[in-house]
Structure 1
Amino acid sequence: MNELKRDKTVQQALNQQNKELFLFHDRTIFPLRSIRNQSQQPYQVFGAFKKACYSKLDISGLPQCYPIPGKQTANPESDSNIKSLGLEDIEAFFDSSVSKEQQDLWPTGEDYALEQLDLFIEDHLSHYKSERDFSNVKGTSQLSPYLNLGILSIRQCLQALFRAEHGNFHLANEGQQTWLDELLWREFYQHILFDFPKVSKHYPFKQNMQNIKWENNQAHLLAWQTGQTGIPIIDAGMRQLQKTGWMHNRVRMITAMFLCKNLLIDWRIGEQWFMQHLIDGDLAANNGGWQWCASTGTDAVPYFRIFNPIAQSKKFDPNGDYIRQWVHELAHLDNKMIHEPYSIKTPLQLNYPKPIVDLKETRIKAIETYKNI
């Protein structure tokens, strides 16, 4: 759906009935079509896009939050109908498959979202750069669900980020710059989605990548979806997703690349699975992230760069705490064995599957598959 076109159509229809609808597009920091290169073309590489955004913020300053709308005057034509609806009546319009347990993990409301934003800025921002990739600590803001749903504004995030600088665009520390860069990655993918709408229609950004010969092994896909691959960090991430509706960003990259490269399963299948389960599922960011991991998108990693999930696990969950939290079958193993429980010569007797693929062999196969496009 083209939301901009939809909103404009609604606005025109209301105007014909002498009713005003004011539109405030707050999904992005900068208006769509406003970030262009010297040839007035959209950027296709994040580094250049970020540089242009930095320049714009430096020259024009931070965008201000929109004013809080005043109370709307009652509409006599529909006021009686609205007042007759109770909260239960309104909830009946929505069919949520999310469990009560999962809902409780994500309290709603702008006040709560703003509290979490302030808490992150005050207590976590200074060491955000050094902690954000570690899955075993709360090093990220976890504000993405509130941003995605519009409970929190990207403008509010920017204003909070530069509050200590009195709203001036001045980068004071690495944590501040790193979080700004992450917000700009989100911005970049929003602009890509608008300027290159083909990515919203199941096409790769790089056209030649349409010819990859995917295997799409259904048994492997099911193992990945249910966290039964025999690769602990992969299974921990997929189980966290199922249980909470959220997954640590570093683990999202590890699980996504494993699906695309080691299992040679079409990235669009993984993209759809994430969108079905992520509470912060954002079409632009999710699509951009999956295409990055599959080496089909903008700024994609070279096809021959393939994360080794065991190495990633040892680096970003060194003591195995994240794995223990989500893969209970391995909780009793020591800090070394938990990353690769079947690596020793004498096999352990575990209620846990052995790896469904050999990481070295599938890496070689993936490189050959991409090379032969």
Structure 2
Amino acid sequence: MTGPKRKADVAFPVFDFKKPLAVPTYCTKEIKYGIVLRKYYPPEITNARADEYRLGQLERPVETLENALQETRAERNAVHDGKSVVHWFKSDLRVTDNKGLYAASVWSREHAVPLICVYLVSPQDFEAHLTAPVRVDFILRNLQVLKHDLAKLNIPLYVETIEKRRNVPSRLMELCNDWSAKHVFCNIEYEIDEVRREAALVRACLSRGISFNPVEDRCVVAPGKLISSSGGPMSVYSPWHRKWCDYLNRHFKELDPFPAPDMNAADVWDRFEALFRCEIPPAPASKSLSENERAKFRVMWPAGEHEARERLDKFIQERAREYHSARNIPSANATSILSPHLAAGTLAARTVVREARDAAPNKKLMDDRKQGHSMWIGELAFRDFYTSILCYWPYICMNKPFKPEYSNIEWEYDLSQFEKWTDGRTGLPIVDAAMRQLTYTGYMHNRCRMLAASFLAKDLLIDWRMGERWFMEHLVDGDFASNNGGWGFAASCGADPQPYFRIFNPLLQSEKFDPQGDYIRKWVPELADIRDEKGIHDPYGRGYGKVAEANGYPKPMVNHHQCRERALQRYKAGLGRSTA
């Protein structure tokens, strides 16, 4: 059998914040500064329409998918066997503990047909979702490992580049036709584009005699299973987390692992040789790295689920017990740094929670911030929480804050200040260290993400969505729900009960979480010679201005106390405006 030809990669322009788009005067700042990608998406929705989603007056995309699955269940179950079964890989690049892959394997075994796996590379999806080049590189390297692991089971992984994102569904159905596959399994992705695409595929596949079966696998507890006392979705983390722990303690089997797929029959290689021999394509031109960058990130971020499991096991054995006491110290090497693997799906969140629970002293899930394993599990639970927010407040995918009334705040769009922030040249050492870590490694410690984001949104009053985009375009672990949730927290417009007047003081945060200045010295070498544990945090204000100036380190670009007062006034004024 011959494999389908791959289509050529297409390069896309990357938005340059230094050169905002030239747009007609009637266009909004959101379009001018690249917050709304008009190539793919409509303008920012109104507050009134966001409220319709919030109140359930508009059908949410996840509900559209749920309805499609429910209404077509009998028809999908009646589809005959076919000559193969397909698993469509997306953000689940692993063989073990993969619910959708396991379901496809069970179908393969019970109906004696071969299992074929497919991954469709969409450069336009990378562009529309702001996927960082370092993350694209990580995804493609994970595919190499996955392809090798599946080949050991005599299962082919076919990878193809699809030039236009709108052609992904039709191409998937064409491949099923080529392989005489009548059943397709995949794991649900909850971003709005993907949920809508999967809802449409449920019905479109049926029209071609194909049963399309999306499976809940990304979250430990699927969105919608935890509800408030009034029967609606929950938007406050603490009570949500308590219910999450209670649910998993009562339904402990939901943490059970799913076995790797069974091996295909020996003749599958001969029948699908071209699929086994297909190559993983290079990154699209707009998402490519230099050779030096690729070499650096290969060492920095080794790919594959074996590496992920090794990192998980090592963290649980060596650092999980003390996680609660050291997690906020960026120089302490106290976190797992598993987020790139969770984002790529080389490790299931279910696996991580199960292993942490089993290693915990009481073998249960509980809201205990004084116990390392429990604290770490609670941080992992945020992924589920923010995914649930994405599902039931879908307008956050439409450039609208979780709290729509915060749309009325008057933001700044000073590109010279924004550039100093992105370049790590703000004159605030802890902020600059964080931004430089991100630029060099594709990763930033979580405490530093909060500090850097708060500085942009509160001290500079620059539209937080510009920072949200910048992070996504540079993070190896970029995940829309988690990134949006973090920025909503920093800008006080997200799913967080704290009021807008929580404003981090960069100096106090620096002294508290980098007390010896080790993190600053590592990422801001201009200040490495300052051994004073006080002076390192504020060189110009504590007698080390000459050292900093001699090494080219800038003075603080703003005065925090003045910025704090300005932010409070701006937020108060914005929230007092009409939300119509």
Following superposition, the deviation at residue 180 of structure 1 comes to 1.3
CA distance in structure 2 between the partners assigned to 1:258 and 1:316 by the alignment: 16
- Which residue of 2 is the match for residue 161 of structure 1? 356
- Which residue of 2 is the match for residue 223 of structure 1? 420
CA distance in structure 2 between the partners assigned to 1:266 and 1:70 by the alignment: 50
Summarize deviations over 1:300-352 as a string: whole Å, max 9, x none: 53211111111111111111110011101000012221110100468413311
CA distance in structure 1 between the partners assigned to 2:277 and 2:245 by the alignment: 50
Match of 1:336 among 521, 526, 534: 534
Q: How does 1:1-373 map to 2 (within 5 A)?
A: 1-10=192-201, 13-14=204-205, 22-63=213-254, 64-72=256-264, 79-85=272-278, 87=279, 90-92=280-282, 94-95=284-285, 96-98=287-289, 99-100=293-294, 101-164=296-359, 169=364, 174-334=371-531, 335-344=533-542, 347-348=545-546, 349-350=549-550, 351-373=552-574
CA distance in structure 1 between the partners assigned to 2:199 and 2:264 by the alignment: 21
Following superposition, the deviation at residue 164 of structure 1 comes to 3.4
Summarize deviations over 1:243-291 as a string: whole Å, max 9, x none: 0000000000000000000000011000000000011011000001101
More deviation, 256-265/157-166: 157-166
Conserved? CA contact 1:295–1:301, under 8 Å: yes
RMSD: 2.4
CA distance in structure 2 between the partners assigned to 1:11 and 1:114 by the alignment: 33
More deviation, 14-23/141-150: 14-23
Considering fraction of residues, name the structure with more strand: 2
Residue 104 to residue 345, structure 1, CA distance change in 2 (3 Å): closer
Summarize deviations over 1:222-242 as a string: whole Å, max 9, x none: 000010001000000000000
Identity percentage over the alignment?
A: 38
Which amino acid in structure 1 is aligned with residue 359 of structure 2?
A
CA distance in structure 2 between the partners assigned to 1:295 and 1:372 by the alignment: 15
More deviation, 24-33/74-83: 74-83
3-state SS, counterpart of residue 91 of structure 1 = coil
Structure 1 residue ranges without an equivalent (≥5): none
CA distance in structure 2 between the partners assigned to 1:80 and 1:184 by the alignment: 42
More deviation, 343-352/34-43: 343-352
More deviation, 68-77/270-279: 68-77
Following superposition, the deviation at residue 207 of structure 1 comes to 1.6
Residue 8 to residue 356, structure 1, CA distance change in 2 (3 Å): same
CA distance in structure 2 between the partners assigned to 1:7 and 1:80 by the alignment: 29
CA distance in structure 2 between the partners assigned to 1:253 and 1:371 by the alignment: 22
Residue 222 to residue 164, structure 1, CA distance change in 2 (3 Å): closer
Residue 316 to residue 2, structure 1, CA distance change in 2 (3 Å): same
CA distance in structure 1 between the partners assigned to 2:360 and 2:493 by the alignment: 39
Structure 2 residue ranges without an equivalent (≥5): 1-191, 575-580
Residue 332 to residue 142, structure 1, CA distance change in 2 (3 Å): same
Which amino acid in structure 1 is aligned with residue 226 of structure 2?
I
With structure 1 as the length reference, what TM-score do the two structures score?
A: 0.92
The structure whose Rg is larger is 2
With structure 2 as the length reference, what TM-score do the two structures score?
A: 0.60
CA distance in structure 2 between the partners assigned to 1:122 and 1:76 by the alignment: 40
Task: Provide the aligned length of Structure 1 versus Structure 2.
Answer: 370
Which amino acid in structure 1 is aligned with residue 236 of structure 2?
V
